[in-house]
Amino acid sequence: MKFMEIVSRITGFSVPVFGIQWNPSEAERAIARRVLAFLEDRRILYVPSEMEMPSHCVESVLRIREFLTSELGKLHSATDIAASLRAMRAACRKFLTTVDADDRAPIRYGSQPGHYASWVFNGAVGELRGVFGIHVAVLAAKHGLDVEDELASIIPAAVTEDE
């Protein structure tokens, strides 16, 4: 998805993208680029959840959380990008708590399709994707970056005039 299409889906910013009031530093832009490139290869964020193995999803979320923590260490804590990375990391922790995955312990949810545990697992995946979709859009828009179509599928839809 191209940068301008992402920007058209985001509303509610008081600061124009790349406006006079705010210009992202090159270091922040590099971090945003690394984060988006990393997330583009995380299938849990966009592949239909019924195609995923729960244990692989947990491992992927753990890797995402570790990567975000590493990138946060390179930022000043008061930056907008740091706030987005912290929100995504919090979503990872909530996912792991919801599916009872204490770090690399075997997962108990989602192993039997149709069982209530798979509903819990799929709900946790959906919530994770929702949070990440918002922050992927913010990172891309604020730093002028394109997003691969698979990851862009979790960016919230544009509001039409009919709605």
| 68 in a structural domain | yes
- Residue 20: per-residue pLDDT: 38
Quote the domain boundaries for residue 67: 3-13+23-152
Alpha carbon separation from 72 to 4, 27, 88 (Å, rounded): 26, 12, 11
Q: What is the pTM of this model?
A: 0.78
Instruction: Say whether pLDDT at 112 is over 90.
Output: no
Selected residue with higher pLDDT from 56 and 63 = 63
| 159 in a structural domain | no
The mean per-residue pLDDT over the stretch 150-163 comes to 81
Instruction: Say whether pLDDT at 74 is over 90.
Output: no
Min mean pLDDT across 17-21, 42-46, 96-100 is at: 17-21
The mean per-residue pLDDT over the stretch 137-161 comes to 89
Instruction: Say whether pLDDT at 104 is over 70.
Output: no
- Residue 15: per-residue pLDDT: 46
| 34 in a structural domain | yes
- Residue 95: per-residue pLDDT: 93
Burial 14-28 (b: 16+ CB within 10 A, else e): eeebeeeeeebeeeb
Rounded to 10 deg, the angle between the 26-39 and 54-72 helix axes is 170
| 18 in a structural domain | no
Rounded to 10 deg, the angle between the 26-39 and 80-98 helix axes is 30
| 160 in a structural domain | no
- Residue 113: per-residue pLDDT: 59
Alpha carbon separation from 113 to 105, 110, 136, 162 (Å, rounded): 21, 7, 30, 37
| 107 in a structural domain | yes
Mean pLDDT of the chain: 81
Q: How confident is the model at residue 13 (pLDDT cuts 50, 70, 90)?
A: very low
With beta carbons less than 8 A apart as the criterion, state whether 75 and 89 touch.
Answer: no
| 162 in a structural domain | no
Number of independent structural domains in the chain: 1
- Residue 67: per-residue pLDDT: 97
Q: How confident is the model at residue 22 (pLDDT cuts 50, 70, 90)?
A: very low
Take residue 96 and report the two structure tokens written for it: 């792991």
Instruction: Say whether pLDDT at 105 is over 90.
Output: no
| 157 in a structural domain | no
